[in-house]
Structure 1
Amino acid sequence: MKKILLYSTLMVSLFALNSCNEEELDLKNPNTLTVDQFWKTPEDAQKGVNSIYAMFYKDGLWARWMYFRLDLTSDEGFSKSPWTDLADWTRFIYVDYKFWEGNVVTFRDSYKAIFRCNQVLAYVPDIAFEDENQKQQILAEAKFLRALHYFYAAELWENIPLVLTPLQPNDTPEQNTKEEVFAQIETDLNEAFNALPASWDEFNTGRPDKGAAKAMLAKLYMQQRRWADAKTAMDYLITGPGATYSLTANYEDNFTHNTENNSESVFEIQFGDQRLGGTGEDANAAVSTNRPQFFAPRGIGWSDGQARFWVVGLFKEEATLSGGIDERLRHTLFYPDQGADFGETTYGRNWEWDADEAFFRKGHRDYYRNNEDYYCQVNYRLIRYADILLMYAEALNQLGQTAEAYQYVDMVRARANMAPLATAHPEIGNNQALFLARLKNERVLELCGESVRWLDLKRWGDLESQAGVDVIKTRDADFNNFVVGKNIRLPLPQQEVDNNPNMTQNPGY
């Protein structure tokens, strides 16, 4: 499938200089355009919105460090990297709040992305378009992307500034609560939904459509435990006019570069390997992900992140209808018995691991090569339909419609050749608590290593009491360091607090 990468090859600097003479203002250097020189034409507007997508390729976000925050901090993953500072930031040992890789760069890149969104939303309305619909779609893209970046920032740090206009260097924005940020995200997503198309043509693959907006709304409502609102948002995707999605027949198709943007994809980040630069703003900047290089087994990658071995055991608790092991395991994890369990070869890889070790497999390229590097081209499926189906079941269960919820779990289980849930676990019946307990496992089996588990633990309230954390400890020893009321959020980067009198450090730090 032809992949269209959405990025701008021209990263424009749109800061006006504080001191310039009249002659300097007349300069027309296209690489140092000011706000007054740019934002004149629809082409400028398109470049501006494309520059937002380029933030997906920065190391603070989805090129590298976001996975450390979402996958390794959860009970699905951990780090025993020899880089102690880095490993400590996955096990709730936050000593240096200025630690770049663990904290600062993700905060910085989140707000760089938000700044680019705010530029589009501030300046594009004044640009004349022959096609008003095109203008509204560009503004809707910016609103969707601002909502997306604020969503993850609010889940990580919670108490953050809500900035809706382009910041100037000396601005000191007010700090907001997570609830206030979530309210703006809801507004942005609803407005984006109204203007986004139901689908894009092949030359615009990767841009959000109406389905993506509703999916993000559903995630937002789920995190707020607004079950009825979440169900309504997902109705659009499951039973409404946006019900165009379906599970792929082959589970692996969600994790290779040959089968991207398929029927199960609701929103995915478009990665490529055609540029082998760094993650800066130069013309050769990479548009790839580093995740496989950092998460690969020893002997192949840096092995800074790996999976908890309890996940392997969970996959083996229940046999398929054919009496075998759940096929999702082979595509989810690398682990020592993989060859014996599934008859797999290692494609010449020189893996090094202990008997009780597992590594995340999704997004790795072992299906066609025997090494990793910094330029993985496999798209990251940020939201896929299986996630929507399981969230829908969860919302129905929370609304007291447990009997209706079974069918959506069964759709996901059926692809894996697993028996219907009521057959495999008749003890659940219509008991909401038992259904949720089982659904927690179903989400691991389907979505392990896809950056949803940390959000799940927060939504379920498992991190809000010592009793809940004590249960997680039995699966993940790093939670012995977890302090209830404190570690549910990251410390704000200390320089942000020091430089902004309107910000205070998060509670407990």
Structure 2
Amino acid sequence: MKKIKIAILLALLSTGFSACQDDLLDQPNPNTLTEQQFWKSESDAQQGINAAYAMFYKPGIWSRWMYFRLDLTSDEGFSKSPWIELGDWTRFQYINYNFWEGNSNTWRDTYKAIFRCNQVLDKVPGIQFTDSRKKDQILAQAKFLRALHYYYAAILWENVPLVLKTSTPEDLPKQNTLEEVWAQVIKDLTEASGALPGSWDDANVGRPTKGAAMALLGKVYMQQHDWQKAKSAFDYLVTGEGKGYYKLVDNFQDNFTHLNENNTESVFEIQFSDANKGADGDNTNASMGNTRAQFFAPRSIGWSDGQARNWIVAEFKKEKTADGKIDPRLRYTLFYPGLEADFGDKIYGRSWQWDADEAWFKKYSRDYYRNNEDYYSQVNERMIRYADILLLYAEALNELGQTGDAVKYVDMVRSRSKMLPLTTAYPETGTDKDKFRERLKIERELELCGESLRWVDLKRWGDLDVQSKVDVISQRDPDFKNFVPGKHNRLPIPQNEVENNINLKQNKGY
């Protein structure tokens, strides 16, 4: 019996020693905090929302590939890249729906960004704040950012799953209709606009304001052809209480360099930087730069995987300024063979050495102080610009039958570039709704070319819905000869997502 007691005692001691050893080893790593350890303080909440902003620097979305989806797929741009599959995704020749650079990376980073927003929305309400207004503003930022990412998901794929809670690997989210996605974006933006300030202090410049939320809300209504609600949203910026925050800057070029960022014309812009020149991961030295300029620069200056259609140059030259000169916006919009002769500007310090029928996007390039490009452009992306809002406001007014009132908002944009008043140059646009609409399409191209808006415009105008209208586009952009209305209006959902989720169906036509 004594031996048994001794054995039991030794076993207990051994178990206790083992447990003590496990406890000693089971220590939290301050560098890899768990969810349970992290979401505790106001500081945690602020870091959480900042992590959502960090998604802007990922290549799947606004650091790189979004420009291929929006600028090059439209009739403004195209690709002659030797990377054939990359070029095919600007020519509506989608073979591999899982092509990383063309589709899957953008899908992945979009939902990764939404995940970070959902974490904030799920966790921050349980954190105690000394100032409840700050908590409301953090939640409002998360709603704005989630709405922004779903807005572009709706533009690209249309029928996407609405994931509104922090997701887990086991989730199989249900697919939603485009109408349901728009409804959620409207809900998020409406709620965000109630808590966001009209402006931020200098330390927080770049966060969305109420004006940014109302502008994006108006854009959603525009895509739905709900002209009255779009006008009402834009009223805040154009005629309402937010009017004092926004006006056009005198110098058109100031909207596309790093020298006058976050100016009065900026409604919302992504804050890029060349401070950290690392890779595109999530470490402390991750890149915060924009790679668009590197991929869109002319050959021997950048990668030249994307360039502009030459028809745009001719469109700029159809109408002279009030003093008989070339529209000055052309100078800062495109590199083209006649740039030096027309304005005295070289291309990154060089005279033209490319093909006679070529053109390249100049907006967001750094030719004004460099002779080459790299992956780390610090030039902010002006995602929503006041000139865009003024032209959308005019479009909404025209569709509501208020063509005469719409003219002055187009003239506000034209006058900066010393163009004649709209009805002086095109008299019938002041009274004819259809002719105003057709002219406005050109006005938007001249003002906004290369700003990732044209694909959205073509969808809103219905120019991609029927073959006869697509045929017109194909005359200026041969890539549209491959375009199938009802199919290519949206991207295919990555096939591996469809195969791994029984609740997803591939988009129509694919």
> Against the structure 1 CA distance between its residues 341 and 115, is the aligned structure 2 distance closer, same or farther, given a 3 Å change threshold?
same
Instruction: Give the TM-score normalised by structure 2.
Output: 0.94
- 2:230 aligns with 230
Partners of 1:270 and 1:301 lie apart in 2 by 22
Contact 2:49–2:138 under 8 Å retained in 1: yes
- 2:11 aligns with none
Q: Residue type matched to 1:312 in 2? A: V
- 1:9 aligns with none
Unaligned runs of 5+ in 1: 1-20
How far does the alpha carbon of each residue in 1:118-170 deviate from its partner, in whole angstroms, 9 at most, with x for none?
00000000001111000000000000000000000111001110000011011
In the TM superposition, 1:271-286 aligns within 5 A as: 271-286=272-287
- 1:3 aligns with none
SS of 2:476's equivalent in the other structure is coil
SS of 1:428's equivalent in the other structure is helix
Q: Residue type matched to 2:242 in 1? A: G
Pair 1:424-2:412 in alignment? no
Partners of 2:102 and 2:353 lie apart in 1 by 26
SS of 1:383's equivalent in the other structure is strand
Q: Residue type matched to 2:471 in 1? A: D
Q: Residue type matched to 2:192 in 1? A: A
Partners of 1:108 and 1:231 lie apart in 2 by 34
Partners of 1:25 and 1:201 lie apart in 2 by 46
Q: Residue type matched to 1:87 in 2? A: G
SS of 2:346's equivalent in the other structure is coil
Give the percent of matched residue pairs that are identical in Structure 1 and Structure 2.
66
RMSD, aligned CA = 1.3
- 2:475 aligns with 474
In the TM superposition, 1:2-81 aligns within 5 A as: 27-81=27-81
Partners of 1:22 and 1:165 lie apart in 2 by 35
Q: Residue type matched to 1:325 in 2? A: I
SS of 2:268's equivalent in the other structure is strand
Q: Residue type matched to 1:173 in 2? A: P
Q: Residue type matched to 1:310 in 2? A: W
Q: Residue type matched to 1:289 in 2? A: N
> Against the structure 1 CA distance between its residues 323 and 133, is the aligned structure 2 distance closer, same or farther, given a 3 Å change threshold?
same
Contact 1:491–1:505 under 8 Å retained in 2: yes
> Against the structure 1 CA distance between its residues 350 and 417, is the aligned structure 2 distance closer, same or farther, given a 3 Å change threshold?
closer
SS of 1:400's equivalent in the other structure is coil
Q: Residue type matched to 1:141 in 2? A: Q
Following TM superposition, by how much is the alpha carbon of 1:492 offset from its aligned partner in structure 2, in angstroms?
Answer: 0.2
Pair 1:337-2:358 in alignment? no
Partners of 1:466 and 1:53 lie apart in 2 by 40
Q: Residue type matched to 1:298 in 2? A: R
**Equivalent residue pairs, number:** 489
Q: Residue type matched to 1:424 in 2? A: A
Q: Residue type matched to 1:496 in 2? A: E
SS of 1:474's equivalent in the other structure is helix
How far does the alpha carbon of each residue in 1:357-412 deviate from its partner, in whole angstroms, 9 at most, with x for none?
10000011111111100000000000010000000000000000000000000000
How far does the alpha carbon of each residue in 1:410-456 deviate from its partner, in whole angstroms, 9 at most, with x for none?
00000000000000011334111110000000000000000000000
> Against the structure 1 CA distance between its residues 24 and 293, is the aligned structure 2 distance closer, same or farther, given a 3 Å change threshold?
farther
Following TM superposition, by how much is the alpha carbon of 1:198 offset from its aligned partner in structure 2, in angstroms?
Answer: 1.1
- 2:312 aligns with 311
> Against the structure 1 CA distance between its residues 111 and 24, is the aligned structure 2 distance closer, same or farther, given a 3 Å change threshold?
farther
Partners of 1:343 and 1:24 lie apart in 2 by 72
Contact 1:308–1:357 under 8 Å retained in 2: yes
Following TM superposition, by how much is the alpha carbon of 1:258 offset from its aligned partner in structure 2, in angstroms?
Answer: 0.6
In the TM superposition, 1:69-108 aligns within 5 A as: 69-108=69-108
SS of 1:36's equivalent in the other structure is helix
- 1:392 aligns with 393
Contact 2:335–2:347 under 8 Å retained in 1: no
Partners of 1:334 and 1:31 lie apart in 2 by 47
Contact 2:407–2:430 under 8 Å retained in 1: no
Partners of 1:24 and 1:354 lie apart in 2 by 70
SS of 1:164's equivalent in the other structure is coil
> Against the structure 1 CA distance between its residues 166 and 26, is the aligned structure 2 distance closer, same or farther, given a 3 Å change threshold?
farther
Contact 1:297–1:352 under 8 Å retained in 2: no
Contact 2:493–2:506 under 8 Å retained in 1: yes
- 1:362 aligns with 363
Looking at CA atoms only, which structure, 1 or 2, has the larger radius of gyration? 2
Q: Residue type matched to 1:199 in 2? A: S
Partners of 1:171 and 1:497 lie apart in 2 by 13
- 2:300 aligns with 299
SS of 1:40's equivalent in the other structure is coil
- 2:460 aligns with 459
- 2:329 aligns with 328
Pair 1:109-2:106 in alignment? no
Instruction: Give the TM-score normalised by structure 1.
Output: 0.95
SS of 2:429's equivalent in the other structure is coil
Q: Residue type matched to 1:97 in 2? A: Y
SS of 2:443's equivalent in the other structure is helix
- 1:129 aligns with 129
Following TM superposition, by how much is the alpha carbon of 1:349 offset from its aligned partner in structure 2, in angstroms?
Answer: 3.9
Unaligned runs of 5+ in 2: 1-20
> Against the structure 1 CA distance between its residues 23 and 96, is the aligned structure 2 distance closer, same or farther, given a 3 Å change threshold?
farther
Following TM superposition, by how much is the alpha carbon of 1:23 offset from its aligned partner in structure 2, in angstroms?
Answer: 5.2
Q: Residue type matched to 1:236 in 2? A: Y
Partners of 2:452 and 2:197 lie apart in 1 by 27
Partners of 1:239 and 1:421 lie apart in 2 by 21
